[in-house]
Amino acid sequence: KIYSRELLDLLFIEFYTKISYIQQGLGVTRKTASNYLSSLESKGFLSSEKLGREKIYKNIRLFELIKKMNQK
């Protein structure tokens, strides 16, 4: 599966994202946005947790990168 530069840009703006952020940012359907995020989660790039009625996806790699930079 090929991901667009726009998707990657959206994922590196914040430590977390939601389906609606990706949907609006890319102009795709909710189902497509959900599929993108689920696929990235299954590959270990994102982790998710339920927050109220929504699923929040955390950018694991970005968090680890910032954490390493702060340790120097």
**61: domain CATH number?**
1.10.10.10
What is the DSSP pairing of strand 16-18 with strand 46-51? Answer: unpaired
Predicted confidence (pLDDT) at residue 15 exceeds the cutoff of 90: no
pLDDT tens, residue by residue, 39-70: 999 999 899 999 999 999 998 887 788 888 88
Q: Between 72 and 57, whose confidence is greater?
A: 57
The pLDDT value recorded for residue 2 is 52
Question: Euclidean distance between the first and final Cα of the chain, in Å?
Answer: 35
User: Total domain count for the chain?
Assistant: 1
Predicted confidence (pLDDT) at residue 30 exceeds the cutoff of 90: yes
The pTM (predicted TM-score) of the whole model is 0.78
Gap between the Cα atoms of 15 and 49, Å rounded? 13
Query: Across residues 16-39, what is the average pLDDT?
Result: 94
What range defines the domain where residue 32 resides? 5-71
